Structure 1
Amino acid sequence: MAGNGRTRFLREFPSSLHEGAGVVFVGAGVSMAAGYPSWSKLLTEIGEEIGVNSRDIQDLAALAQWHIRETGNATGVRNVIKREIGLDRPLPETVKTLARLPIRHIWTTNYDRLVERAFAEISRPLDPVAGVKDLALKVTPGATRLYKMHGSVDRLDDIVISTDDYELFRTKRGAFLPLLQAHLSSMSMLFVGLSLTDPNVRHVLSLIRESFTDAPPEHFAILKPPKAEDFTNDDEFKARLAQHKLWAKDLSRYGLVAVEVDDYGEVPELMREIERRVATKRVWVSGSWPLEGNNPHTPRVYSVAEEIGRLIGVTHRDLVTGTGLLIGPAVVSGFMDALREDGGWDIDRRLIARPFPQGVPGQAADRAQWTALRSEMARLAGVTVFLGGLKTDKGSLVAADGVMEEFALAQASGSFVLPIGAFGGAAEQIAKQLLGSGAPSDGSKASRPKDEEITALLSQSATEKQLIATVRAILDRLA
């Protein structure tokens, strides 16, 4: 079942993300991976103050409730959370990858600011929603929304922690529920860091059950079975393992598919695999072509570029482009034609443009900014098509060094490199460099076309139709 769950997860969830229907729920395990304490450890001090060992209590919300009742206020609990959760611990790789995925909605019951910091690190807009009043705020254009349904460490007067808070959730924070239920009913949700010992789990699962329909979208939960070394005695381990196995099977009642890992150390690579699979649905077209002069190849290069854009559109891939000279506009034109013909104008999601700022006469271009933009496009795209790559230097046509830089960045990011070398320039140099190289050309690790495909794309006698047919065959094989 575990293997089957992982196979389904790697097949289905990247497609959901690409289609804009993927949602992620971040659980306590992600916080623990950053070094934050588990719920049990977090409330150890609280329990000791009232003579209770937190390890002996399954209902940790009740423990917080007892402390509040005994002390007369929630200050002690809040101070512990502020001291332990308020620290900025190193960002786990799982959260960094999460911030790069095309997600519009993230849910969490965690108080920490890991997700906010990961988004800020890559300057990606994020709108945290930590209270009911935040739901009414205008959404920042292009921003992902982070629903902190149990509050945030920077607003400790409005967090869900005790039994009272859970029982009065519908009264005080009920506005979150229609949104969560809508996402559960219409989107595919991935639960990362879901823990059997997390007191929030039962609460969230009950909400999922309420929104359950006859044919819900498939949801996934990454789970780690208990390990013997995590327990002080063998009996405790066996009891918890049996409990975990029953719980994992029971998740199917909520429409969740269990994706089991032997160790949490596998989760970052699993998330990177999701990122790679999403990236294969994005194609970056790199190239340049001088507008001056009467190069006889210019009309053909424009035609091929336009057809590549159309091919990306009709095969439901996303276009990544720097919108450079001639080739960039031609690709975008063909791509938009395909979207219009298909009746879809979801350009905001499928066109990823990073235009290069062009220098004005007398001013040098900002090369560092160009490199930063190229690096971002290389990271976003799983396939990079190279076309042309010529520029004029002192009256002579030479291979564009910027396109060669993009080739190096694409290789470094693990992108599949697809050069159309028939028209010379940097694309021809790249094709000849790859021809006969040791880089894999087939299988899941393929990073370049097969030699016969590279040769076909180098042929100067090939027609535009033949070149596009070869490109399509390569993309179809990758899919």
Structure 2
Amino acid sequence: MKKPKASSQVDRDTQDFLSKYLKEVKENNAAVFVGAGLSKSAGYVDWSGLLSEVAKGLGLDANRETDLVALAQYHLNSNATNRHHLTQLLIDEFSDLKDPTENHQILARLPVQTFWTTNYDRLIEKALEAGGKRVDAKYTKEQLATTRRGRDAVVYKMHGDIEQPDKAILSKDDYEKYHQTHGPFTTALSGDLVEKTFLFLGFSFTDPNLDFIMSRIRATFTNHQRQHYCIARKRSRNKGEKEAEFQYAKIKQDLVTQDLMRFNIKTIFVDEFSEITVLLKTLEDRYRRRTVFISGSAADYGTWGQAATEDFVAKLSRALIDKDLRITSGFGLGIGGAVVTGAVQQIYSTRQRSVDEQLVLRPFPIGITDTTERQETFTRYRVELIAQAGIAVFIMGNKTVGGSIVTADGMRSEFELAKKSGLYLIPVGASNSMAGDLWNEVMSDFDKCYPGASSSVKKLMSKLGEPTDKPETLLRPLLDLIQNLASGE
């Protein structure tokens, strides 16, 4: 994403949103509310599309109606409250299992544990499950009283699910009885809106239930409401639209935006829907940059020696934790122990941190004898570790084969996976072995590895390749480079 101009209020708002919402994500205080707009891009109909046939039967045009809940009620009124047709519409439109969009996939990769939606489809659940997460979906009040063991995310479907189309919230009757039929959802959402920072996506804010809940929170907390955000497309002139109609719609959007501020919901505008994906990608990228993957192995410590190497790695790990960064590592031979030593020492030096939150270690299961199974397991291990990070550091990288010291092919695999995943690659060239080879590759193709990077980044990377017998001298340029990349916007 191009860096916004400081003079633009919209751009300042965008940067402020990215910074503050990222902080909430890191502290497990973030939630996402998904509306029909996100499902429409996957190929599902929105409310207007769902009720278009119903509107025609009433002599109306769904595209001209703003109160679609009333439209569904009109249909029921004219059919002696027979709901069969509306239920069949839901089955026809939402039974096909469409694939989640890129937006769904990005949201699923973020460490967000709370999702709310008014949609009936399964796109959120499908995206989360594809990402290896265990989902606890709740669309009946009875389900709120149970908890799926080992869940990674909860998806609250306040208007129901396609599995029970006859119980979906659609009409005025349904909304008026909501406090009786779905009262616990109101309580649960109220609690989350008070305790978590929400990001609203694809949501029009015309839902009576949410408006009622937000109003109660505003009345209770007045000027102490939690900050929330929504991303919306700025109204542009449609093809063939008259100037007066466009200006009217623009004024209406401005007024709705101002009204949302009563509930402390700040609107972040984009010019095109595709920019929502760019924003989410930027959010994910910045989150991942707070995690550093350390790849390293050493059967031979070369001129550095074992003691100096382990001291260097331990001090590096300790400094990363001190800077509130997270570490992932595969516990490489001769290097992994020093990573643990430095990281745990720093984590335990303060009561505000925990090992589980800031250190992820995956010792490789070397006992697997079947060559194919071993390779598949190792690759999966590496993919899962690297997927969590945004920066990869490579140190040494050698092993013993047949009594001889050779470069570690495992580090080469990790380098290629990290490169494919878009991580910033930082081989400590002065440590030699495979890391030395990788440093030469990065420097020879620096502009491709670091497109648009400042001269200071290249200078710091160059220092990491300067020969030295004292690895401690590399700590400062290495940490400066990591901090530069982790905090860059």
Alpha-carbon distance, 1:152 to partner: 1.1
Paired amino acid for 2:258? K
For residues 401 and 377 of structure 1, what CA distance do their matches in structure 2 show?
17
1:147 and 2:156 equivalent?
yes
Displacement of 1:296 after TM fit? 6.6
User: Aligned letter for 1:466?
Assistant: T
What code does the residue aligned with 1:248 have? T
**1:254 equivalent in structure 2:** 263
- Taking the aligned partners of 1:3 and 1:345, their CA distance within structure 2 comes to 33
- Report if aligned partners of 2:140, 2:160 keep a CA contact under 8 Å in 1: yes
Select 1:94's aligned residue among 103, 108, 119. 103
User: Match for residue 180 of structure 1?
Assistant: 189
Question: Deviations 1:113-132 (Å, cap 9, x if unpaired)?
Answer: 11111112222221111121
- The one-letter amino acid of 2:314's match is E
For 1:468, the equivalent position in structure 2 comes to 475
Say if 2:89 is the partner of 1:55.
Answer: no
Whole-Å Cα distance in 1 between the matches of residues 362 and 420 of structure 2? 19
Q: 1:54 to 1:309 in 2, by over 3 A?
A: same
Normalised TM-score (structure 2): 0.89
Aligned 8 A contact 1:441 1:450 in 2: no
Q: What's the counterpart of residue 204 of structure 2?
A: 195
Query: Which residue of structure 1 aligns with residue 396 of structure 2?
Result: 388
The CA distance in 1 between the partners of 2:239 and 2:272, in whole Å, is 12
1:375 CA drift (Å): 2.5
Contact 2:424-2:450 within 8 A present in 1 as well? no
The Cα of 1:65 is off from its aligned counterpart by 1.8
Give the secondary structure class of the aligned counterpart of 1:214: helix
Distance 2:467 2:171 in 1: 72
Structure 1 segments unaligned to the other structure (5+ residues): none
- Within the alignment, does 1:12 sit opposite 2:20 as a pair? yes
Aligned to 1:356: 364
Q: Which residue of 2 aligns with 1:477?
A: 484
Q: Is the 8 A contact 2:298 2:334 kept in 1?
A: yes
Q: Distance in 1 between matches of 2:368 and 2:214?
A: 58
Percent of matched pairs sharing the same residue: 30
Q: Quick one: distance in 2 between partners of 1:467 and 1:216?
A: 47
SS in 1 for 2:194: helix
Please say if 1:245 is aligned against 2:259: no
The corresponding residue for 1:368 is 376
Matches within 5 A, 1:33-182: 33-71=41-79, 72-182=81-191
Which stretch shifts more, 264-273 or 45-54? 45-54
Query: Which sits farther off after the overlay, 207-216 or 324-333?
Result: 207-216
SS at match of 2:223: coil
Contact 2:13 2:268 in 1 (8 A): yes
Displacement, 1:382?
0.8
C-alpha distance 243-357 of structure 1, shift in aligned 2 (>3 A): same
* Matches of 1:472 and 1:141, distance apart in 2: 36
The offset of 1:7, in angstroms, is 1.8
Partner of residue 4, structure 2 = none
Report the residue type matching 1:432 in the other structure.
N
Contact 1:47 1:53 in 2 (8 A): yes
Q: Does 1:337 align with 2:345?
A: yes
Cα deviation for residue 434 of structure 1 reads: 2.2
Task: State how far apart, in whole Å, the 2-side matches of 1:466 and 1:397 are.
Answer: 26
Q: State the shift of 1:108 in Å.
A: 1.0
The within-5 A match list for 1:321-470 is: 321-360=329-368, 366-435=374-443, 437-439=445-447, 446=453, 450-461=457-468, 463-470=470-477
Q: Give distance in 1, aligned partners of 2:316 and 2:209.
A: 49
The amino acid across from 2:294 in the alignment is V
Counterpart selection for 2:34 from 26, 29, 36: 26
Residues 29-71 of structure 1, C-alpha deviations (whole Å, 9 max, x = no match): 1011112112112111122333333233221111112222332
CA contact (8 A) 1:441 1:447 kept: no
Amino acid at match of 1:270: L
**Cα distance in 2 between the residues matched to 1:308 and 1:76:** 65
Q: Normalised by the size of structure 1, how large is the TM-score?
A: 0.91
Counterpart contact for 1:105–1:144, Cα < 8 Å: yes
Instruction: Give the letter for the 1:74 counterpart.
Output: R
TM-superposed deviation, 1:213: 4.8
1:198-252 residue CA offsets vs partner (Å, 9 max, x unmatched): 6766456446535645333321110112333277655444322221121122221
CA distance in 2, matches of 1:459, 1:47: 73
Change (3 A) 1:340 1:308: same
* Distance change in 2, residues 1:401/1:14 (3 Å): same
Distance 1:93 1:440, change over 3 A: same
Which one is further off, 295-304 or 310-319? 295-304
2:303–2:469 CA contact under 8 A, matched in 1: no
Contact conserved, 1:37 with 1:84, CA < 8 A, in 2? yes
Bigger drift between 452-461 and 167-176 goes to 452-461
Match of 2:225 among 216, 221, 234: 216
1:191 deviates by 0.8
Residues matched between the structures, number: 477
Task: Tell me the CA shift for residue 10 of structure 1.
Answer: 1.8
CA contact (8 A) 2:292 2:389 kept: yes
Would you say the 8 A contact 1:415–1:447 is kept in 2?
Answer: no
What secondary structure sits across from 2:468 in the alignment? coil
CA displacement at 1:285 relative to structure 2:
0.6
2:116–2:156 CA contact under 8 A, matched in 1 = yes
Whether the aligned pair in 1 keeps the contact of 2:425 and 2:449 (CA below 8 Å) is no
Contact 2:160/2:168 (<8 A) preserved: yes
Q: Following TM superposition, by how much is the alpha carbon of 1:417 offset from its aligned partner in structure 2, in angstroms?
A: 1.5
Give the Cα separation in 1 of the matches to 2:455 and 2:437: 14
Q: CA 1:385–1:79 in 2, change beyond 3 Å: closer, same or farther?
A: same
Name 2:282's counterpart in structure 1. Answer: 273
Q: How many angstroms apart in 2 are the aligned matches of 1:361 and 1:110?
A: 48
Which amino acid counterpart does residue 143 of structure 1 have in structure 2?
D
